[in-house]
Amino acid sequence: MIRPRLEVLSKDEIEEIHVRSLSVLSRVGVEIFHDGALKLLRDIGAEVDFNKKIAKIPEHLVNEALKKTPHTVRLYYRDGKKYLELKPGGDTYFATGSTGIYYMDWRTNEVRIFTTRDAVELAKVIDALPNTHIFGTVYLSDVPELFSDKWFDYIALKRCTKPFENEAREVEELRDRVKLYAVIVGEENIGKKPITYFAACPSPPLKWSAVTVYANLMEAAKYGLPVEIIPMPQTGATAPATIAGAVLQGNAEFLSGLVIAQFTRPGTPILLNPSPVAFDQRYGTACIGSIEVGLMSAAFAQLARFYGVPSGAWITVSDSKVVDIQSGIETALGTLIAVLSGINIAIGAGMFRSETTISLTKLVIDDDIAGVALRFGKGILVDVETLAEKLIEEVGPGGLFLKYKHTREWWIKEHYIPKLLDKTSVEMWKRKGAKDLVTVAREQVEKILREHVVEPLPPDIEKELDKTMLEIAKKYGIEKLPPLPQV
């Protein structure tokens, strides 16, 4: 049985991109706005100019770093038992889009800044959905700015059992935040059973900001937490207009991050999770639902396989401003490309208006799209039983397959049953209220929020988590934790 696979680069082309990435790193280098990272690179033999903040990284450092990089990364659920296994060319999992700053209220379609209450709703729906596996970080505006990332930790840990993505918002040590994870999985398991991973986005072209390289890359690596390196080339703006050039530049950025991470702590789990965008020269917009994003993501996934690291991509986000046909088309194409390219984390569920807004209505639709694509990705099982020659003979010309055991056994195995996509007859559809997909999706959100129960943390752990969180909150002038709303 073969799994359907999509390849957009030949073996030679991958090698060419690799070799030229090394050339860019050693000749042009990367600009890093953090002396600690520059010192680290100098100490291991890179050519560093501290005035210009440029580090030129020779090929042998990249090769050494690649040798230290694990091929498989596991992301754990809150219980420390269940996990997602990410390996090159392996299964695809789905993450909600990050980092949303706006939330579309599913009741009114009003778009507003993200609040704690919205994040709690989002957590509950993610927890309930079968094909949404990771809680992408959001940006909360109802708590103090520099406290918001820790507050997101707290919401994700309390109100969702699934792994979550993370981002540090200030140049700081992660010591306090790691305490939160220790409460859940135990001190010894912070890096061994990671329940979260950190987002490190270089600023193209070839630049690293201090908060990214220090807090999200080096600090996370220090604790053995996985780091997703996120090259974000914008075709024709912050990267070459050509797909190959944009991928090459992004790959060089990825490799520079990989070197910093592996020489900070050998064995740091790394994900190549690009967020390439098509820069629209007409409007000056960074478009993430464009088909070229699919091409670039597929190319990055092939590079990830070449390096033996898991990969992800911001590939299921839409540029549409409403939940409509465009949002469905862009997300569906990206989702299918992700599965066919063997991308391990398809990122963007529920996200639209480019990388800004989360809608629960879109999220439940996207979950159904993910189910459809995952089914396609499984391919066709061909053996004596599935070929069913005997059965065809038994039923004979003009017969019906309905009553046979083979049918009852295999139909359910061979088909994905969509939750929301309508497969009824016109008459049934009319009787059920003649609703379109968006209406059905909104009702599904309401149903999940009404019926789903997120498994609570064991009381002693919850108490400990609250206590640890309060200690952090006090540093930001919050003397009492606001209770999380019931949604």
Partner 1 sequence: MSLKEELFARLRGAVLSGDPEEVVKLCKRVVEVGIDPLEAIEKALVAAILELGDKWIRGEAFIADLVAAADAMKAGMTILKEEVVKKGKTVKYLGRAIIGTVEGDIHDIGKSIVATLWEAAGLEVIDLGVDVSPQKFIEAIRQYNPDIVGMSALMTTTMLKQKETIEAIRQAGLRDKVKIVIGGAPTTEEWAREIGADGWAPDAISAVELVKKLLGVK
* Whole-angstrom distance, CA of residue 46 vs CA of residue 24: 13
Q: Pick one of 137, 166, 196, 209: the residue that binds partner 1 (CB under 8 A).
A: 209
Convert residues 341-370 into a mask of x (bound to partner 1 by CB under 8 A) and - (unbound): ---------------x--------------
Please tell me whether residue 207 binds partner 1 under the rule CB under 8 A.
yes
For partner 1, give the closer residue by CB, 47 or 145: 145
Which of 34, 32, 30, 39 is CA-nearest to residue 263?
39
For partner 1, give the closer residue by CB, 48 or 125: 48
Cross-strand pairs, 227: 198, 270
CB of 237 to partner 1, least distance (A): 5
For partner 1, give the closer residue by CB, 365 or 472: 472
Q: Pick one of 101, 322, 481, 487: the residue that binds partner 1 (CB under 8 A).
A: 101
CB of 37 to partner 1, least distance (A): 14
CB of 141 to partner 1, least distance (A): 9
Give the interface segment with partner 1, choosing from 64-72, 207-215, 404-412, 457-465 (CB under 8 A): 207-215
Convert residues 277-306 into a mask of x (bound to partner 1 by CB under 8 A) and - (unbound): --x-xxxxx---------------------
Please tell me whether residue 150 binds partner 1 under the rule CB under 8 A.
no
For partner 1, give the closer residue by CB, 235 or 335: 235
CA distances from 175 to 155, 165, 222, 301 (A): 18, 17, 10, 32
Report whether the peptide linkage leading into residue 205 is cis, meaning its omega lies within 30 degrees of zero: yes
CB of 388 to partner 1, least distance (A): 55
Please tell me whether residue 63 binds partner 1 under the rule CB under 8 A.
no
For partner 1, give the closer residue by CB, 52 or 282: 282
For partner 1, give the closer residue by CB, 115 or 285: 285
For partner 1, give the closer residue by CB, 282 or 413: 282
Q: Pick one of 6, 7, 28, 33: the residue that binds partner 1 (CB under 8 A).
A: 33
For partner 1, give the closer residue by CB, 136 or 310: 136
Convert residues 151-190 into a mask of x (bound to partner 1 by CB under 8 A) and - (unbound): ------------------xx--------------------
* Residue type for position 130: P
For partner 1, give the closer residue by CB, 285 or 326: 285
- Tell me which residues in 219-248 interact with partner 1 (CB under 8 A): 234, 236-238, 241
As a three-state string, the secondary structure of the chain is: CCCCCCCCCCHHHHHHHHHHHHHHHHHCCEEECCHHHHHHHHHCCCEEECCCCEEECCHHHHHHHHHHCCCCEEEECCCCCCEEEECCCCCCEEEECCCECEEECCCCCCEEECCHHHHHHHHHHHHHCCCCCEECCECCCCCCHHHHHHHHHHHHHHHCCCCEEECCCCCCCCHHHHHHHHHHHCHHHCCCCCCEEEEECCECCCEECHHHHHHHHHHHHHCCCCEEECCCCEECCCECCCHHHHHHHHHHHHHHHHHHHHHHCCCCCEEECCCCEEEECCCCEEECCCHHHHHHHHHHHHHHHHHCCCEEEECCCCCCCCCCHHHHHHHHHHHHHHHHCCCCEEEEECEECCCCEEEHHHHHHHHHHHHHHHHHHHCCCCCHHHHCHHHHHHHCCCCCCCCCHHHHHHHHHHCCCCCCCCCCCHHHHHHCCCCCHHHHHHHHHHHHHHHCCCCCCCHHHHHHHHHHHHHHHHCCCCCCCCCCCCC
For partner 1, give the closer residue by CB, 91 or 280: 280
CB of 44 to partner 1, least distance (A): 24
Q: Pick one of 5, 71, 113, 394: the residue that binds partner 1 (CB under 8 A).
A: 113
Say if residues 419 and 371 touch (Cβ distance below 8 Å): yes
CB of 400 to partner 1, least distance (A): 57
Q: Pick one of 103, 106, 135, 139: the residue that binds partner 1 (CB under 8 A).
A: 139
Give the interface segment with partner 1, choosing from 138-146, 184-192, 265-273, 397-405 (CB under 8 A): 138-146
Q: Can you read off the two tokens belonging to residue 336?
A: 């299918």
Give the interface segment with partner 1, choosing from 40-48, 129-137, 155-163, 201-209 (CB under 8 A): 201-209
Binding site for partner 1 (CB under 8 A): 33, 99, 101, 113, 139, 145-146, 148, 169-170, 203, 207, 209-211, 234, 236-238, 241, 279, 281-285, 356
